[in-house]
Each structure stands twice: as structure tokens, then as C-alpha cells.
Amino acid sequence: MNMAGQILQREASTYQSWVRLLLSFAMGGICFILFFDYCTLTDSGRALVQKAKQEIKACLSEIDFRSLVKPVVWMFVVYLLGILTIIRANFLYRDDLARAIRGFRGWHDWSRYVSEFSSIFVHGDTHLTDISPLPQLLAILILSVSSVLLVYVTGNKKITTVRLLASIPLGLSPFFLECLIFKFDAPYMALSILVSIVPFLFISRKKAFLFCSIACLLMMWTTYQAASGVYLMIVLILCFQDWNSRKKSSKEILVFLGQVALAFGLALLLFKFFLMKTFNEQESAYVSNAMYPVSTILSGAVHNLKNYAMTINGDLGIVWKIGILLVLFFFVVKSIRRAAQRIVLSFLASITVLALSFILSFGAYSFLITPLYAPRAFLGLGVFLSIVCVYVVSDYTKWAKVIVLALNWCFFIFAFSYGNALADQTRYAEFRIEILLHDLSTLYPNRNREELSFNFKNVIDYAPSIQNIAKNYPLIEKLVPRRLGDYPWDDYYCLEYFNFTSYSNTRSHFNDDFDDLPVVLDSYYHTIKSDGSRVLILLKH
């Protein structure tokens, strides 16, 4: 391989990565063929498949799907109202900037193969175009089904209006709003939550549950890995409810946990060794899927979870914090008052469940060397709050219901503020960009001039309305990107999106060599320096 690299004047590591990828797919294919042969050519395999099919059909026959239609429609209306201002803002968010013009998919680079292939059907072509708000409408439809199923599986198959409203954080938590702003990614992010809930429809049959868990978890891993803790959080709350009420014996709960461990472990191993692509070159720049070594995995996880908790604490407003603490308080109180166990045991168990659920809400990111701390990576926190809220309002006091609904009303209202903030930032940023492009087009009127190289220093700051929101809700500054500086594609938006020059002729980051260029234009909003071939744009706040 070293010789091949020298002959082709490339790094051998490039070919090694491709060989590893091909070997992974080859080994995965061999394992699939062996499993397929076992299921079709052996008596025991055929019996296993037949039994699983029968159990799946039996579980589906026990579900009254007609009774779920109305709640799904109702939740769709709720979520639609929640993202109405987001849809109206018509904001191109991060990767949307490039996909809207270039039409590439690229999810396979992140091992999100389900997203990669699903996008072909959603957009009706392998080449993507902006079809918003259809993907966002599809996303809230998926979230509506997810909310209803979450209430169904955690609420003992009893669906009420209050429980449905209690599940609102699943789709309208301040962190998941970043997922919904993506015009191209939103439905697949929502799908990762849905497929994590679906297996629990088959929880009454062991083989059906095991098979569906493995299949759905593989879909989750290849859709959006930030949802990797959702499945385990639901397992935890179901086990706690059964234990606290003594509905099931400890032995039955342990057997169920064994099934869960087997399903989750198999799905994780299949993804890790046969489907996951590595991108170590991005470890220091953005995010990595490389895990800590075994010797430091515990200390690394503690470090990541500490940063996770501190980030959430810094992002949440004081009203949200108070509401969340009250909901958690009612969770503990209800667990004690409705316990069939000893009070002390129930108290300790409820505290442990909350702590473990919070840890699981960060999913597999806890064990990564370079995890993602963007709001969209915290979607598990919204599911965690939904599970807790549904539990608290289920057959409990009116005060508990009032607190839960008040907290969810705050999330609902913030979604409106977020959409309006996006619209304000769009107007302000495009006003600044129009002035900048007018000045650049005057200074460099030759459309075919290719030797120009652009650099940006500073960013277009937040609009005044966003600065006002940030006083009480600091998270808004992460949810609303500042143009020309916060993200590499922002240069793309300023130049190629407005058909001024090709993005390939620009640089995404400021270079100190440009600082000594002579000033060719100075205005209220920006200063332009240039030597005729290099251009430095200093944006003023």
C-alpha cells in the first residue's frame, strides 16, 4: 500500500481508509449472507423467523390504530402552530445554504445511510432542491406519531389530551428547534426519535421485541446518532414503573433488561464494525466519532457529561430552570406516593432514574473524544423531559398538571420567538450583505475576474430583537447563526448565493497576511482593504 501511495503520489492512509471501509462492508455482507442462509435453509432458522412473524402480527392486531389517528392529527396541529413562524422565516440554516444551490446529499459521510436514501424519495430525485416547507411538515408529522406512541407505551396504552400536551418537549424543546429549522435534515432527525419508540409496541412478545429493536436501532444509528439514548430512556422509565408498582417481579424486569442489552449491543456492534465510517481528520475541527480508549473511557465520559450539564445550565432561561426543577420534584413525590415499595427505596430509585435518564439523554456522545455540543445534539433532553412530564400528569394532582403545562407553554411560546428572531436576523443580515455587495460590485465590476480572493474579519452581529431575547434566553444566540463568520458556508451565502462570485475563489477564514492591505473603502457598516487581487472585508458591529 505504501508503494501504491508513492506511485500515485498520494498518502497511503487514504487507501487504507478505503480498504478498511470495503473490508467492513464485505464482512457485513458475509455476516448478512450467513444469517440469511440460516433463516432460510435451516429448520431452526425458519422456525425462528416464523415465530417472530407471528408475534409481530399478534402485537399489531392488539393495537387499535384507528384510535391513534385523531391524537396524531391533533398533535400535528399543535406542532404546526409551534413552528409556524419558523416556516414563515424561510431561513437557510447552515448546510441548507449549500444544498439549496449545489443539490448534494452527503449524509453518507456521517454514516447516515437511511437519511441518504430517504432523501431521494422525499425530493423525488438524487439531486436535491429546496422543497420547503414539505420536509418540515413531514418532520412534524413524524414527531406527532412519536408523541402519540410515547404516551401510548409509557402511559399504559391510555391516551389523554393532558398527556399529549405533556409530550410537547419531544418536538418543541428549545434544543430540538434547531433540528426543525433545517430544511433538508429535519425529517430524518425526527425519524431517529420515532424508530427509537416503535419497538415498544411489541414489548409483550420477546422475539418480536428483540427483532424490531435491532432493526429500529440500526435505523436510528444510520439516521441521526444524537437520538442514541432515547431507546434506553424509555426502557428505564418502563422498568421503574413496573418495579415501583410491583406490576412485575424483579426477575421479569431483569429478563427484560437482558433482552434490551442484547438488542442494543447487537445493533451497536453491527453499526460500529460494518456501517460506521470514521472521519478522524475532523476530530480537532468539528466533531469525531472516535471513542475514548478503555483506560480513560470513564473519566472521558464524566468530562463530557460535565460539559453537557454546564452547557445546558448556561443555555436555559431562569423560568425554564424553575419549571424543570418543579417537574422533577413532582416526579419524585409521585413516585413515593404511588409506590408499592418502601418509601426510602422508592425515593432513592426515583432520584437514580432521573440521574440515569439525564445521562442517557446525551446518548453515545458521552463516550466520544470530540462530541457535539450544538443544540441539535441535545434532542435527547427534550425526550427526557417528555417522558418525565407524561409520567407526572398521568393520574396525578392538578398542581402537577398545571406546572407541566406551564413549562410546555413556555417552550411553545419560545418557538414563536425563535421563528420571528430568524426572520429579523435574515432581514438585518441581508440588508448588510446588499450594501456590501453594492460596494464590492462598484470596486470590482469585472464579472469574469477570477484572481480575486476574499477574506472576512468579524461577523454581522445579531439584530437588536435577538439581543433582547438573549437577556433571558441565552440559547437564542446558538440557535440563530450570525452571517459571515460563524459557519464556513456563510461566505458561500454572501457571494455565490447572490451570484457575485464563485465560492471556490474565496477563503473561509481570516488570514493575518491580509491585515496590511490598503483601505479602498470605509463605510459605517464595513471597511474594505485590497491590493487588487486580495480583498479583506472588516465587518463592523
62-115 pLDDT, tens per residue? Answer: 888 999 999 999 999 999 999 999 999 999 888 888 888 888 888 988 889 999
Alpha carbon distance 251, 239 (integer Å): 11
Alpha-helix residue ranges (DSSP H) falling in 167-249? 169-172, 177-181, 186-197, 206-221, 230-244
CB neighbourhood size of 312 (10 A): 21
59's grid cell: 402485537
**Per mean pLDDT, which range of 74-83, 186-195, 437-446, 494-503 is the poorest?**
494-503
pLDDT band, very low/low/confident/very high, at 6 (cuts 50, 70, 90): very low
Residue 238 pLDDT > 60: yes
Q: Quick one: average pLDDT of 283-310?
A: 86
DSSP 122-168: HHTSSS----TTHHHHHHHHHHHHHHHHHHHHHTTT---HHHHHHTT
At residue 254, the pLDDT reads 95
| pLDDT higher than threshold 90 for residue 197 | yes
Encode pLDDT of 148-170 as tens digits.
Answer: 999 999 998 899 999 999 999 99
pLDDT at 487: 67
CA 182 to chain centre: 10
Run of H or E including 206: helix 206-221
H helix runs in 95-133, sequence order: 95-102, 113-123
Domain ranges of the chain: 2-34, 42-396, 421-539
Nearest to 213 by CA among 271, 258, 263, 259: 263
Grid cell, residue 104, equals 448534494
CA 415 vs CA 2, 295, 412: distances in Å: 54, 43, 5
Q: Is the sign of the CA dihedral 314, 317, 318, 324 positive or negative? A: negative
Chain centroid to Cα 153, Å, comes to: 22
Q: Which CB contacts under 8 angstroms, 24+ apart, belong to 27-33? A: 27/273, 27/274, 28/270, 28/273, 28/274, 28/275, 31/274
What is the rounded distance in angstroms from the CA atom of residue 165 to the CA atom of residue 144? 11
Q: Which DSSP symbol is given to 225?
A: G
pLDDT (0 to 100) of residue 5: 45
Res 508: pLDDT: 44
**Higher model confidence: residue 14 or residue 401?**
401
CB atoms within 10 A of CB 174: 26
Contact between 80 and 160 under an 8 Å Cβ cutoff? The reply is no
pLDDT at 509: 47
SS3 content of the chain, % helix, strand, coil (to 5): 70, 5, 25
**Per-residue pLDDT tens over the stretch 9-62:** 444 444 555 565 566 556 666 766 776 666 777 777 777 778 778 888 888 888
All three cell numbers of 138, joined, read 413531514
Residue-averaged pLDDT of the chain: 87
Instruction: Select the more confidently predicted residue: 35 or 244.
Output: 244
- Give residue 3's pLDDT: 47
Q: Which residue bears the cell 409509557? A: 154
- Mean pLDDT check: name the lowest of 260-274, 396-410, 430-444, 483-497: 483-497
1: confidence class by pLDDT, cuts 50, 70, 90: very low
Angle between helices 66-82 and 398-443 (to 10 degrees): 50
pLDDT at position 9 is 46
Rounded Cα–Cα distance for residues 26 and 215 (Å): 20
Q: Which of 2-6, 54-58, 76-80, 471-475 has the lowest mean pLDDT?
A: 2-6
Question: Given this model, what pLDDT does residue 424 score?
Answer: 94
Percent of the chain with pLDDT over 90: 62
Q: How confident is the model at residue 336 (pLDDT cuts 50, 70, 90)?
A: very high
Integer angstrom CA distances of residue 286 from 106, 181, 281, 315, 371: 16, 20, 10, 20, 9
Q: What percent of the chain has pLDDT over 70?
A: 87
Residue 485 has what pLDDT? 65
Distance CA 308, CA 321 (A): 15
Residues comprising the chain, all counted: 541
Which pLDDT value is given to residue 449? 61
| 462 bridge partner residues | none
Lookup: cell for 481: 447563526
Average pLDDT estimate for 119-147: 95
pLDDT higher than threshold 60 for residue 281: no
3-state secondary structure of 530: strand
